[in-house]
Structure 1
Amino acid sequence: MGWASLGGTADLAVASTSRAARPTTGAGGPSPTPFGRPTDSIPNPGARITAVRGDRASNWPKQTRSEVVARHGAVATSQPIAAQAGLRILQKGGNAVDAAVATAAVLGLVEPESAGLGGDLFAIYYSAKDRKLFGLNSSGWSPKAWDLDYFHARGFDEKTGMPEHGVDSISVPGAVEGWHRLLERFGTRGFDVVLEPAVTLAEEGFGITEQIHSDWEEGVDVLKTDADSVRVFLRDGKAPPLYSIFRNPDLAHALRVLQRKGRDAFYTGEIADAVVAKIKKLNGAMTSADLAEFHAEWVEPISINYHGYDVYEMPPNTQGFAALEMLNILQQCGPVLGLNLANLGPRSPEFWHLLVEAKKLAYDDLNTYNGDPRFTSVPLGRLLSTEYAIAQCKKINPRRATPPRVRASIDSGTVYLAVADRWGNMVSFIYSLFELFGSGVTVPGYGFPLQNRGSQFSLNPSSPNVVAPRKRPFHTLIPAFVMQNGHPVMAFGNVGGSEQAQAQATEIINLVDLGMNPQAAADAARFSHDQKTDVLQLEPELFNLVGRQLSAMGHHVAKSVGSAMGGFQAIVFDREIAGDRSEQAQTQSQEQAQSQSQAQAAERVATGGASPSPVDGVYRAASDLRKDGSAVGW
């Protein structure tokens, strides 16, 4: 076979002829946005691209990139600069908690529409030393003055619902308290160290990415309702331009105060005074006592076993049990309906039908029972039992969609991060302002908006989530974790309001039933079902593949984009299994590494000495293409 027949000379000749035939003047010319630089008339050049995407050369061609594989530590989150801040803490001898708080602080700066000092926090921490999981609920409570009479007097009732934004949507922020509790119990560094990357970046400025710019633009209207928000976050009444440098010296000041004075500055000190003064100015109800008396709570994560893997979520007041119930129902579809998800596969409309129908049943229970367990009893024992899953599965018609019974839906802006260190500790960590820029109310002099989580209370007196003094609202935030036989397998999570639980269940199915690696699980098309409207959103390729068939089954199908699917981040731990290394030897090695002085390890790294011992295995980290995500490791 000659060279020409392989596409050599003949193709070159055709290409040469084609080039010669092209006009040299009067057509084409440089783009008005070379190198993707925005202009006044074209502020978002990427929206004009009409090219098709290339594929990878190996494995699954549609996977966007390889997993990050590392032995000393890893960070996965929605913003590369934040991930790198956490990685630097790990490299300097800090542990997973230290790095998580450093990463979170930077995320609160670079994604101010989603998270920050004014938000709430939940975390699941795996302690290699204790060989167990610890859950932290640092979601803030309502002001003591909040009850039904308070909102009725302000013109709100069961029909109108809670105010969505503004001063009467603000509950006590729990994020700073959560940072403090994690560092106090499991960290090795203080605010003085872990907040420094965020302080420096707030002072020097960071560049606005496409994703953050898009989200920022969506939050402009709520920001315009507050003069302090306009001053801090808008430029000439608009979001900062794409690729521009944004500085927040007021937030840098707030972080400096926390470095010097600790969490008390936020709850009883000068920042607390500024928060209460701003709320009082707007005729709100929060008092100094509401802040001073708030504390985070250590809780036991809840779990079910899915095909041999223990999947853990946070208990109520979060929606975590919905993800577990959905998985439990799907696990029974084999024996009950004779349908196996792995055999059906993700190109089958029946596969997606089962997922959506199980989701509806789980969310019916979520919207019926979820509330603050200090005020209401949530029957988790029954809802997460095998017997209940079998009964629920029997309600699924394998050929026809059934409408949801309890209608409700929640959207939000959130950041999630996973961190793992060289001692085997792992953190699944999520925090949020709720909707874009939260309440829209910014604390003057300190450069952060306050959350609007209070908007998620109910004004229905019979609801378990009815507003009450010092009560925590229904929460969408759910960090997740997977264990097997007492060993850590994966820290993971997905942002996106009510998308979180359904996405997490889908991702577990991708990983366990379909055998995907975590990056492939992140990149695979997902669905988002709205329990209120009963609309089933599918990403474009999935819509083209099964949309017509699902519509014929009675689903209200719509084509969607990635923003509806949230953003998945994960770190998987693969333990080293070698013929000459028994499990007992590996455990002893891990204990020796854990007992090693972290200060000495940090000194060796700083002075260029011998590298500290890595974990016995590898971390495999993945980050979602739908965000600015980055997984990093060393």
Structure 2
Amino acid sequence: MSPFPRWRILLLSLLLTCGSASAADRSVPAAHAPAAAVQAQRPGHAAIASANFRATNAGLEVIAAGGNAFDAAVAVASTLSVVEPESSGMGGGFMAVLRRASDGREVFIDAREVAPAAVNTKDYLNSDGTPNRDAALNGPLSAGIPGEPAGLAWLAEHYGRLPLKQSLAPAIRTARDGFEPDSRLRGAIAERADDLRRWPASAAKYFVDGKPPAAGKLWRDPDQARTIELLAEQGRDGFYKGEVARKLVAAVRAAGGNWSEADLAAYQVKERAPISVDYRGYRIVTAPPPSSGGVAVAEILNILRGVETEKLDRAHRIHYVIEAMRRAFRDHNDYLGDPDFVKMPLDMLLSPYYADGLRQSILPDKATPSSMLPSSAARDPGPHTTHFSIIDKDGNMIAVTSTVNYTLGSTFVAAGTGVLLNDEMDDFALVPNKPNVYGLLGSTANAPKPGKRMLSSMTPSLVIGADRTAVIGSPGGSTIITQVLEGILAFIDGKDASDIVAQKRYHHQFMPDRVDVEPGVFDAATTGELERMGYTLHPREPWGFMNVVTWDHRDNKLDAASDPRRPSGLGKVQ
């Protein structure tokens, strides 16, 4: 890791001498008034918002059978593995923030993928020393050891009410009996057709008579059904040992990969302390490293907390939000990585005193060029991720963001398993200071090592207030962070679930030094004022697929909504 600038060392020393909380002190946040209010109340009904109606219905089916939010999460995630493989699946991983109603326990579940023991950065270089993008993105070398199956078994064992077998039943049934693929899945298969055809098992799974599955036709996935059945019957060992593990390793090694059965057997789910930050009477509970998202959201909110944004016109409110984004993204990649491998100055980054200093560097009516701040570059873990949010009748909550990284991950299916592998190895800084597929750089804090977890922007979050609570998250690569931030701000401003997921978005990530904007996000006056301040506004197509559940404690009403930008999503209250 590069040395800290002198002013940061001085500030860090000051914070430590002032007695700031250590990472160990944040294991479970102390009781807060809003949390106590939530714990004392039960909604009496459940709500789920996910990216696919079949997954939402699977979760509600499990809840109707006596399951809780955590059982429903198993059903939703496993069903998404079948019906939305372009975004997540058994060959990928997830991050989740949950709150258990019975005792108020809040925890972060880290089921992120890890590098295999035989990882070697030379495998991702061409003969001339330049990055080999194909090895990093396609085929078995691009795949980390999956975490999702272990994570689902962990949720069922430690937090669920039902046997794992019962919660996985909807996914098994869907894969075995078939379903009609939606336009997003058909489009993803067509988009990655050339890569899929490189691998016989991938072509056999995703093509029907040499073509992507047709609209309105049933599509079955018997190999994945069998894999999920073994997970259901044997727990995590059904995937990480025995028949499935042998098939995974044999397929990977036959195609030039480097997995071993020991890699699979050694995989462990991690429980970590979530990040908690107070903002305008709400407590935001969000993802810690190896996610960069929660740290960035907390840093932004700490900066904004010292600005009387309600007294500003819209352009100047947006100005302060963008400048807070710029500074948070400046920090997040330099310092963050897998906490089991990298020592991080979280006390500094999460401190309100540190935010005070950053706020003082913001000019009230002028953009700060990123070139005037110490240089850095943010990493983008890819746009093709998925998120779902759940609150059950007892008030249990869970926010889950799951991914295989790029569209259809590595495009490599391990023969005989139906498992599509991720391409998360590209989320490491495989070649320091060389761009990944998105043209962005990485740092040594995120360099690959055996068993290490790659940095992510996934930001599953809970927003807990005395009157209202929200479960929120989204896919979208580096834009996940700003989407979740803008969703949190909208919720605190009083918007309902439908308005939150539908609101138009803007994004700044330090470099490139521009503000990405959805069409129509700013009116003409706001656009003109931002440009006068020195911002470059960069139009781009709509992004993200946010799924939100809200709980109004005043009338004990749940609401759920899925992003209208894409078809197939469903937010549903039962």
The TM tier, using the shorter chain, reads: 0.7 to 0.9
Indicate the larger mover: 208-217 or 503-512. 208-217
Give the AA of the match of 1:372: D
Structure 2 residue 571 is matched with structure 1 residue 622: no
User: C-alpha distance in 2, partners of 1:387/1:362?
Assistant: 14
Structure 2 residue 90 is matched with structure 1 residue 117: yes
Deviation of residue 148 (structure 1)? Answer: 4.0
Structure 2 residue 154 is matched with structure 1 residue 181: yes
Which structure 2 residues correspond to residues 476-515 of structure 1 after superposition, within 5 A?
A: 476-484=457-465, 489-512=469-492, 514-515=493-494
Change (3 A) 1:160 1:253: closer
Structure 2 residue 162 is matched with structure 1 residue 165: no
Q: 2:535 corresponds to which residue?
A: 555
Q: Which SS does the other structure have where 2:463 is aligned?
A: strand
Please tell me whether the aligned partners of residues 96 and 400 of structure 2 are also in contact (alpha carbons under 8 angstroms): yes
Structure 2 residue 403 is matched with structure 1 residue 419: no
Q: Identity over the aligned pairs, expressed in percent?
A: 30
Q: Which SS does the other structure have where 1:283 is aligned?
A: coil
Deviation of residue 400 (structure 1)? Answer: 3.0
Q: 1:407 corresponds to which residue?
A: 377
User: C-alpha distance in 2, partners of 1:533/1:133?
Assistant: 36
Deviation of residue 100 (structure 1)? Answer: 1.0
Q: Which SS does the other structure have where 2:499 is aligned?
A: helix
Q: 1:328 corresponds to which residue?
A: 302
Q: 1:469 corresponds to which residue?
A: 450
Q: Out of 517, 542, 549, which is 1:571 matched to?
A: 549
User: C-alpha distance in 2, partners of 1:508/1:129?
Assistant: 25
Q: Out of 437, 450, 465, which is 2:408 matched to?
A: 437
Please tell me whether the aligned partners of residues 287 and 461 of structure 2 are also in contact (alpha carbons under 8 angstroms): yes
User: C-alpha distance in 1, partners of 2:522/2:202?
Assistant: 39
Change (3 A) 1:432 1:387: same
User: C-alpha distance in 2, partners of 1:400/1:490?
Assistant: 34
Q: Determine which structure has more spread, i.e. the larger CA radius of gyration.
A: 1
Structure 1 length-normalised TM: 0.77
Structure 2 residue 104 is matched with structure 1 residue 131: yes
User: C-alpha distance in 2, partners of 1:550/1:456?
Assistant: 33
Give the AA of the match of 2:99: Y
Please tell me whether the aligned partners of residues 435 and 452 of structure 1 are also in contact (alpha carbons under 8 angstroms): yes
User: C-alpha distance in 2, partners of 1:168/1:212?
Assistant: 24
Which structure 2 residues correspond to residues 26-425 of structure 1 after superposition, within 5 A?
A: 71-148=44-121, 151=124, 155=127, 163-319=136-292, 320-334=294-308, 340=309, 342-344=310-312, 348-404=314-370, 405-410=375-380, 411-425=382-396
How many residue pairs get aligned? The number is 514
Give the AA of the match of 2:412: V
Structure 2 residue 426 is matched with structure 1 residue 455: yes
1:27-48 Cα offsets, whole Å, 9 max, x none, are: xxxxxxxxxxxxxxxxxxxxxx
Deviation of residue 531 (structure 1)? Answer: 4.3
User: C-alpha distance in 2, partners of 1:423/1:223?
Assistant: 44
Structure 2 length-normalised TM: 0.84
Please tell me whether the aligned partners of residues 165 and 455 of structure 1 are also in contact (alpha carbons under 8 angstroms): no
Change (3 A) 1:158 1:392: farther
Give the AA of the match of 2:333: N
Change (3 A) 1:547 1:239: farther
Deviation of residue 236 (structure 1)? Answer: 4.9
Please tell me whether the aligned partners of residues 52 and 570 of structure 2 are also in contact (alpha carbons under 8 angstroms): yes
Structure 2 residue 557 is matched with structure 1 residue 631: no
Please tell me whether the aligned partners of residues 224 and 237 of structure 1 are also in contact (alpha carbons under 8 angstroms): no
Deviation of residue 220 (structure 1)? Answer: 2.8
Deviation of residue 460 (structure 1)? Answer: 2.4
Q: Which SS does the other structure have where 2:521 is aligned?
A: helix
Deviation of residue 385 (structure 1)? Answer: 1.0
Please tell me whether the aligned partners of residues 223 and 437 of structure 1 are also in contact (alpha carbons under 8 angstroms): no
User: C-alpha distance in 1, partners of 2:268/2:521?
Assistant: 44
Indicate the larger mover: 71-80 or 475-484. 475-484
Give the AA of the match of 2:199: D
User: C-alpha distance in 2, partners of 1:156/1:273?
Assistant: 35
RMSD: 2.4
Change (3 A) 1:216 1:499: farther
Change (3 A) 1:328 1:220: farther
Q: Out of 521, 526, 536, which is 1:542 matched to?
A: 521
Deviation of residue 226 (structure 1)? Answer: 2.0
Give the AA of the match of 2:497: P
User: C-alpha distance in 2, partners of 1:366/1:237?
Assistant: 44
Deviation of residue 548 (structure 1)? Answer: 4.4
User: C-alpha distance in 1, partners of 2:368/2:386?
Assistant: 33
Deviation of residue 344 (structure 1)? Answer: 3.8
Please tell me whether the aligned partners of residues 71 and 618 of structure 1 are also in contact (alpha carbons under 8 angstroms): no
Deviation of residue 156 (structure 1)? Answer: 8.5
1:44-73 Cα offsets, whole Å, 9 max, x none, are: xxxxxxxxxxxxxxxxxxxxxxxxx97411
User: C-alpha distance in 1, partners of 2:536/2:208?
Assistant: 41
Please tell me whether the aligned partners of residues 409 and 531 of structure 1 are also in contact (alpha carbons under 8 angstroms): no
Deviation of residue 204 (structure 1)? Answer: 2.3
User: C-alpha distance in 1, partners of 2:182/2:523?
Assistant: 30
Give the AA of the match of 1:356: I
User: C-alpha distance in 2, partners of 1:349/1:244?
Assistant: 49
Q: 2:437 corresponds to which residue?
A: none
